[in-house]
Chains A and B, each alone.
Chain A
Amino acid sequence: MIANGYHPSMDLVRHLRFFTTVAEHRHFGHAAVALGMTQPPVSQGVQRLERHLGQRLFHRDARGVRLTEVGNALLPAAQQLLQDSERLVGSARRWQAVHQVRLGLPTDLEHAVPRLLAALADEGWSMAPSVGGSTGLLERVRSGELDVAMARHPAVVDGLDAGTVVNLPTYLALPPNDHADGDTFELLGHPLPVIVPPRRHAPAAHDQLVDALRRAGHSGTVLEVETHLERQAWHAAGHGLLPVLDPRLGRTVRGLPPLRVRVVAPVPSDRRPEIDHAALTGRLERALR
């Protein structure tokens, strides 16, 4: 049915939203602000809805905007319809994501990130990856935005299901212009800072690293740099020592702690039932080793 250019299927839900918002605010201008729009399209939308229904929904007079008797009677049905449409869209999104695991990975894993995802893809796992700081990833696991994440340990994981801590040996890449001999080197008294992700990515793990550097005789001075690529850039420019997971890229350093990582998932009652969490967690932990 296309009467006077009105597409009920497309416009009705949109105009019902205008209707309920104006009814709530009793003011077209305020309703427009709440909808994030200007006033004219809201007024026009309500008028078109009124024409389509053949009923006036609002009295507009010197006293302002008031619902008519019909408007009052139709309001609950309009609100119900809006709720149902939101639920429909939400369900559709969830169905769309069923076959994808929303996986969070900390930037600290560097080159291991693409390698891990390639291996999982090879085995038929479909992953929607997010890469970020551990604190943010854990928040997203809590809120249900991620199905599972790897996060640095130690971190506050209360209310989540945290797996075994995996300790990944860490090496230090010297600046390109440092041609010191030998496989090992000493942190004691070394003048350059260590290039690390921002502290807010994982405050407890960050502080633990700084304490370990001081324990080994380093000043504990760090350069907090946002992304993996930028950290590589600062290292290439000769500004600091870069922790790396690949032994071919760095030296063994006495007193440098491992990168501690664990797999963290929601508690069983908060998980998406479509996902085989036991298999997933097992696979991710195996990938870390």
Chain B
Amino acid sequence: MTSAAGVPQEISRLSADAGIRAWVHAKRLGPAPASVDHHGSRSVPMASLYKLPLAACWSDLVAAGVLDPLARTRLDTDGRAPGPTGTSTLSDAVEVSQRDAVRLMLALSDNGAAEHLLGLVGLGRLEQWLADHGLRDTAARRGSLASWRAVAAETGGGDPALAPLRLADTDTDVRTSEYDAALSSATTAVDLVAVLALLWDHARHEHVRSSMRLQAWRHRVGSGFPHDDVAVHGKTGTLGRLRHEAAVVEFPGEHPVAVAVLTKSARPEIHQPRVDATIGEIARVAVTALRRSRD
């Protein structure tokens, strides 16, 4: 086992071997908090991870009686955010409750559902929520649809659905404002872990926690914990060379550990199983150094 002091060095080694940059923070939740860090205070574009504070903000609005989790909400095909999963892939309009939209957004990273929830919550209220919780290094500047529209406009125009392929061009170094923390929605690994700690601190966030437990993408943090009795509550974020996940890992009988692994790969390809597996390795190294029995 790598001791907490050796974690940053091991993360550097794993990152260099995978051809990525990594920004990592992990914290043991509960009565005796402890943390490990690797550039965790640096600002990084967050891709789909804005959905995590969005979900937390939504459940606070529900608890305050402002939003109704059972209210039916219609997801139209017009202006639907493109994406590889969930309602983004459907041909027709669908109707779901707000809480099911939250579940699709977290478990599948459903851009269509996320865009709709962002409309219900509002960027203004989300920014206020971030400020109220002291998350000063996190800025939700735009949702998935606006992000992909920006990438499309910066890479030759046209359909936002084509933008992922443009970013994956291996013959050029494709640049976009979505890789710039000053222009895109951005956060830090430390702030993401703080959001996870908030979600784990209050009963009103149970729906968000159980939705993260259903995380369909197991190729990143989940790949570091291939144990059927270990719960990985995760949320991934992916955009071009950015590959992230923020998760809470819970071994039976131990305190849960929150971990955020943000990465930017040198390679631009859409499918990079080595990098996804390295995110699992980094998470395992960081979490292992913080594991402690509840007794």
Contacts and interface: CB of A to CB of B under 8 A. Distances in A.
B17 A203 contact: yes
B170 A208 contact: yes
Given A156-B266, A204-B266, A260 B19 contact: no
Nearest to A212: B170
B171 A165 contact: yes
A153 B19 CA distance: 11
Nearest to A202: B19
Interface string A226-260: 00000000000000000000000000000001101
A153 to B, nearest CB: 7
A204 B265 CA distance: 8
B21 A156 contact: yes
A207 B172 contact: no
Contacts of B266: 154-157, 204-205
Interface in A194-211: 200, 203-205, 207-208, 211
A43 interface: no
Contact of B173 (A165, A203, A258): A165
A262 B17 contact: no
Interface residues of B, number: 17
Contacts of A167: 171
Interface string A159-195: 0001011010000000000000000000000000000
Interface centre among B17, B170, B269 (most CB of A within 10 A): B170
Contact of A158 (B17, B21, B171, B172): B21
B184 to A, nearest CB: 15
Contacts of A208: 170, 267, 269
Contacts of B265: 154, 204
A22 B21 CA distance: 43
B161 interface: no
Interface of B: 16-21, 170-173, 264-269, 274
Given A153-B173, A162-B173, 12 more contacts: A135-B16, A154-B265, A154-B266, A156-B19, A156-B20, A156-B266, A204-B266, A204-B267, A205-B19, A205-B266, A257-B170, A260-B170
Interface of A: 135, 153-158, 162, 164-165, 167, 200, 203-205, 207-208, 211, 257-258, 260, 262
5 contacts: A154-B266, A154-B268, A156-B16, A156-B21, A260-B170
